[in-house]
């Protein structure tokens, strides 16, 4: 059986899978509908092919997009759905053709597990923009059609193991703490890529809007690149934290005088806020030819942008979307070199629904990481709906 | 008297000016309030200083921003106000220190007549972004405080003559028709600058939204740079014209199928529409790392932009604002080399209010130019309110 499919235990016990010893049943945590809490599930991972790596997952970061996706807020999704694309673990098995990884290696998986490999974007090492070929296009780590492996839906990292093509597996330097490195696979590359693309280096003036999972990574990465960093936050409650993370300046964005004082003072602003918010006040803080990169993607429409502010200093409003495989590896190596990783709050499987509520409320310092060792063994799960999690 | 001041004849006959023979009374057309039609006015031009050039104006283009400004739609303005910043004429007098121009030279004046000359923008040759010094900042050709010349308000090119510092005067190549060259001073540079900045050259795929004064210049300039040009227009009424101007493709923007077919097909889109309109459909026509430059500036708010479209291809939404003096000269020389100028409809002074209504209605192919020879002599104007124009 080559299909990456997710089934509750009852279905997994069907004759189709019972005859295939190579597929492996693992425990996971996922959603079964848009409005029910996450719960334990058993899923099956495919038999590894010649190019595959089997990873025993140790930690998986919780990303705000996991919440949007599992609740169907971004698009309609199929259930059950196991989120998770900030995956760190150890290699337990490699296919015959895999030379880049060996058993025991510490590795990571981010938002992508496959792409067409032939389009211009893939050839440019920008697999996140894969436009596809006749077979298919980029495959997200969860919720995507896994067309090269039977056409089932991919399932993510809130699970004990995952099978991934070696070309989409990252090497996680062992000098990084495994749990704190997990959020680098999404929050790290999401903020690293636009900083690099904007040419951030010694003395660049970087603004970071919002100090959450993405924002705290943006601060750390920009500082490691040599930038002077200004954090914008709605209240002063995070001022001390911003300083501890390395920020040089802190601006309370609800204070018009403070915002006016920051006028045209920045080269690049990374906006990490994932709820609709006015952009004009931040655009006004950008100097000539600077840019605002929105990396938080609200589910609801944003307020309009005033083109007059863009014209007045040739400011750009733009977006960014994770990074390619090579750049993600570059980011991990950069983090190892500069000792950068996420500030995390570790949770067990039974805390996941509470953690989701706290993410929605912005109450996390600064990234939840799920300790995969706390997942129940698949044998312990009842057939069918699975146990409830708090 | 060194003040550039505008007064109806009654005031101009006051003792203050009557004793100063060097200031010169010229005929003009301008607004006296936000909601009255333009009318003939007499204004006085300052005595030229050592660095000044006196220009006998031959032609002045009519820009949509003239309408916004004279009607107070962009900001509060002082009246009377004489618009006009697409000025072409002949030099009739030069100050003692002026070496760049001689009597009889064909010259132009665009949107700027002065700036601080010391700020970073001025030093970079980007006087349009002058941030000023303790004395003042950039001085617009009309409606600005002329701080180096007595602090009066500048008055624009709908007038017989203008006195301008030589550093802000452009050389208009004589191979260009004087009247058709006038719109280059604003519409030309407004579209040339963002095309150049985007690196447009052989084979670049350029989209132009709206085929009016700015749009038709964008088509001609992009073609002259070697681009493949796609025109977007709400109906097919301008399809033939687009072809005659050199466009390679024409897309009816109200046709969803046509817009879908243009998806991710362009590198740069120049959006010239000066009324609020949805941007997302145009952003979707831009390929990875491309940009939409909005050069039409609506008085009312635009609809919101969907950041997801920006993120999906790293597309930028940005603005541009005319160009510096050096770049404006470069544009005029480029136009002379490539035989590019505006398609104009010449009007006399008595047609100006009708022309304004037609501009608002988008009924012009493609730029009105005021023939300054049709202005009444100042002596013929009655003291006070001036005659009415149709």
CB distance A317 to B318 below 8 Å:
yes
Per-residue pLDDT of chain A (390 residues; tens, 9 = 90+): 333 333 333 333 333 333 344 689 999 999 999 999 999 999 999 999 999 999 999 999 999 999 999 999 888 999 999 999 999 999 999 999 999 999 999 999 999 999 999 999 999 999 999 999 988 889 999 999 999 999 999 999 999 999 999 999 999 999 999 999 999 999 999 999 999 999 999 999 999 999 999 999 999 999 999 999 999 999 999 999 999 999 999 999 999 999 999 999 999 999 999 889 999 999 999 999 999 999 988 888 999 999 999 999 999 999 999 999 999 999 999 999 999 999 999 999 999 999 999 999 989 999 999 999 999 988 777 543 444 454
Residues B146-169 have pLDDT tens digits of 999 999 999 999 999 999 999 999
How far, in Å, CA of A35 to CA of A37, rounded? 7
The ranges assigned to domains in chain B are 5-185+342-380, 187-319
Residues B186-240 have pLDDT tens digits of 999 999 999 999 999 999 999 999 999 999 999 999 999 999 999 999 999 999 9
- Does B318 sit within 8 Å of A314, measured CB to CB? yes
CATH superfamily label, A9-185+324-380? Medium-chain alcohol dehydrogenases, catalytic domain (3.90.180.10)
Supply A299's token pair: 């589910």
Residues of A in contact with B299 (CB under 8 A): none
Between B8 and B49, residue with greater pLDDT: B49
pLDDT score, position A370: 98
- Does A304 sit within 8 Å of B302, measured CB to CB? yes
Give the residue-averaged pLDDT of B171-190: 98
**DSSP letter (8 states) at residue B339:** T
CB distance A6 to A359 below 8 Å:
no
Lowest-confidence range among A80-84, A211-215, B18-22, B381-385? B18-22
pLDDT score, position B389: 52
A298, A336, A124, A129: which is closest to A214 by C-alpha?
A298
pLDDT score, position B380: 76
Give the list of residues 6+ apart from residue A122 with CB closer than 8 angstroms, or none: A115, A116, A130
Q: Is A199 exposed, middle or buried (0-12, 13-18, 19+ CB in 10 A)?
A: exposed
Residues of A in contact with B320 (CB under 8 A): 311, 314
What CATH number matches the domain at B187-319, 3.40.50.720, 3.40.47.10, 1.10.10.10, 3.20.20.240? 3.40.50.720
* Of A131, A288, A311, Cβ closest to residue B297: A311
B2, B41, B78: which is closest to B160 by C-alpha?
B41
| Nearest residue of B to residue A275, measured between CA atoms | B307
Q: Is A93 exposed, middle or buried (0-12, 13-18, 19+ CB in 10 A)?
A: middle
pLDDT score, position A389: 52
B60, B81, B93: which is closest to B367 by C-alpha?
B60
| Nearest residue of B to residue A321, measured between CA atoms | B311
Give the list of residues 6+ apart from residue A146 with CB closer than 8 angstroms, or none: A3, A4, A113, A114, A139, A152, A153, A154
Name the A residues in 162-181 with CB < 8 Å from any B CB.
none
Lowest-confidence range among A135-144, B11-20, B138-147, B292-301? B11-20
Residues of A in contact with B129 (CB under 8 A): 288, 312-314
For the B5-185+342-380 domain, the top CATH level (class) is alpha beta
How far, in Å, CA of A363 to CA of A211, rounded? 11
- Does B302 sit within 8 Å of A312, measured CB to CB? no
- Report which secondary-structure segment, H or E, holds B31: none
Instruction: Name the minimum distance, in Å, from the CA of A382 to any CA of chain B.
Output: 40
Q: What are phi and psi of A129, to 5 degrees?
A: -110, 20
pLDDT score, position A11: 35
Mutate to test the interface with B, among A274, A278, A307 (most CBs of B within 10 A): A307
- Does B317 sit within 8 Å of A317, measured CB to CB? yes
Between B341 and B299, residue with greater pLDDT: B341
- Using the CB atoms, write b or e for A312-334: b if 16+ within 10 Å: bbbbbbbbbbbbbbebbbbbbeb
Name the A residues in 253-292 with CB < 8 Å from any B CB.
264, 288, 291
Cβ neighbours around A388 below 10 Å, total? 12
* Of B131, B304, B315, Cβ closest to residue A318: B315
- Does A315 sit within 8 Å of B319, measured CB to CB? yes
* Of A131, A294, A313, Cβ closest to residue B307: A294
The alpha carbon of B40 is separated from its chain's Cα centroid by a whole number of angstroms, namely: 21
How far, in Å, CA of B295 to CA of A120, rounded? 31
- Diameter of chain B measured on Cα atoms: 70
How much is the CA Rg of chain A, to the nearest whole Å?
21
Lowest-confidence range among A226-235, B97-106, B129-138? B129-138
Cβ of A300 under 8 Å from any chain B Cβ? no
Partners of A25 in the beta sheet? A44
How far, in Å, CA of B237 to CA of B231, rounded? 12
Cβ of A126 under 8 Å from any chain B Cβ? yes
């Amino acid at each position: 059986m080559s299909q990456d499919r997710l089934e509750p235990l009852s279905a997994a016990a069907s004759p189709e899978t019972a005859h295939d010893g190579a597929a492996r049943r693992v425990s996971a945590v996922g959603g079964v509908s848009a409005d029910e809490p996450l719960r334990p599930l058993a899923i099956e991972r495919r038999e590894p092919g010649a190019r595959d790596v089997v990873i025993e997952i140790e930690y998986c970061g919780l990303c705000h997009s996991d919440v949007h996706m599992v609740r169907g807020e971004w698009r309609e999704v199929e259930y059950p759905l196991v989120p998770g694309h900030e995956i760190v673990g150890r290699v337990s098995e490699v296919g015959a053709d895999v030379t880049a990884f060996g058993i025991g290696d510490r590795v990571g998986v981010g938002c992508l597990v496959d792409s067409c490999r032939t389009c211009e974007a893939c050839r440019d090492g920008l697999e996140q923009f894969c436009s596809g070929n006749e077979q298919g296009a980029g495959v997200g780590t969860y919720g995507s059609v896994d067309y090269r492996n039977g056409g089932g839906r991919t399932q993510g990292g809130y699970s004990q193991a995952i099978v991934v093509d070696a070309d989409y597996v990252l090497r996680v330097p062992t000098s990084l703490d495994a749990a704190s490195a997990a959020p680098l696979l999404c929050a790290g590359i999401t903020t690293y890529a636009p900083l690099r693309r904007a040419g951030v280096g010694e003395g660049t003036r970087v603004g970071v809007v919002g100090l959450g999972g993405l924002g705290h990574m943006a601060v750390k990465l920009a500082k490691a690149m040599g930038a002077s960093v200004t954090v914008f936050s709605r209240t002063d409650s995070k001022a001390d934290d911003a300083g501890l993370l390395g920020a040089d300046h802190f601006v309370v964005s609800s204070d018009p005088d403070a915002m006016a004082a920051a006028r045209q003072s920045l080269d690049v602003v990374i906006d990490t806020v994932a709820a609709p918010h006015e952009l004009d006040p931040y655009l006004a803080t950008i100097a000539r030819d600077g840019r605002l990169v929105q990396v938080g993607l609200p589910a609801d429409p944003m307020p309009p942008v005033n083109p007059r502010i863009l014209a007045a200093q040739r400011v750009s409003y733009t977006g960014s979307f994770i990074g390619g495989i090579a750049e993600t590896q570059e980011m991990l190596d950069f983090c190892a070199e500069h000792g950068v990783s996420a500030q995390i709050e570790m949770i067990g499987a039974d805390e996941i629904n509470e953690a989701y509520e706290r993410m929605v409320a912005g109450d996390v310092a600064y990234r939840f990481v799920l300790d995969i060792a706390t997942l129940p063994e698949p044998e312990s799960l009842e057939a069918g709906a699975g146990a409830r999690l708090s």
